[in-house]
Amino acid sequence: MHAAGYLTTREIYADGKHGLAIPNESIRRIFVEQVGEWFSSRVAAKETAVSNLRLAFCTGDGASAQAAANELLIDFVSARDYSTKHASKESFYHGLLLGALVGMQGWHVMPNAESGFGFWDISARNETGKEEAFIIEIKYSESRNGLVSAGETAIGQIHAKQYWRRLKKEGASKILLYGAAFHKKECCILSEELMV
């Protein structure tokens, strides 16, 4: 863009970096329109994926939750986001899902709450009079081939530690269980319905 004249050098710093500027009003308008369109389309795509993810978790559709999560991972996650220790990787994906789910209208989202014999990763309870809730347990797989196994381990942990006990005590009779396994920019989300 600099070589084509869309940006001009305003200043050269001591470290060799250039301070750039838009040279005139007509080029500024092009930037505003094209960059604005690009950002608008990116935000709309993200909002659609987040809406799809929320709906899928609320309705027990693990396959759609997986598709929406994979869309978010591909479009909005950098290789640097998951290039940490194993435990930190799970925390990263936990934050990603939690950020997508917080603010769901009619649902109370609860991260890291104690229930049964441990702490679930994420749970949400329907506040609109329905006796529905869901629990998400998150795992990181060291390989793509281990995603399904990690998802099964996550659901097994929900059962073994009886994470559903608190939600049952609070009035939920239908609890959707999700094992969400991640590897880099891919995930596998397994689902199961528990009637208590």
Q: What is the pLDDT of residue 25?
A: 73
pLDDT of residue 13: 77
The reported pTM is: 0.77
DSSP the chain: -TTTTSSEEEEE-TTS-EEEE--SHHHHHHHHHHHHHHHHHHHHHHHHHHHHHHHHHHHT-HHHHHHHHHHHHHHH--GGGG-S-HHHHHHHHHHHHHHHHTT-TTEEEEES-EETTEE-SEEEEE-SS--EEEEEEEEE-SSGGGHHHHHHHHHHHHHHTTTTHHHHHTT-SEEEEEEEEEETTEEEEEEEEEE-
Q: What confidence score (pLDDT) does residue 11 get?
A: 78
> Which positions of the chain have pLDDT values less than 70?
1-4, 6, 18, 28-45, 82, 84-87
Q: What is the pLDDT of residue 21?
A: 72
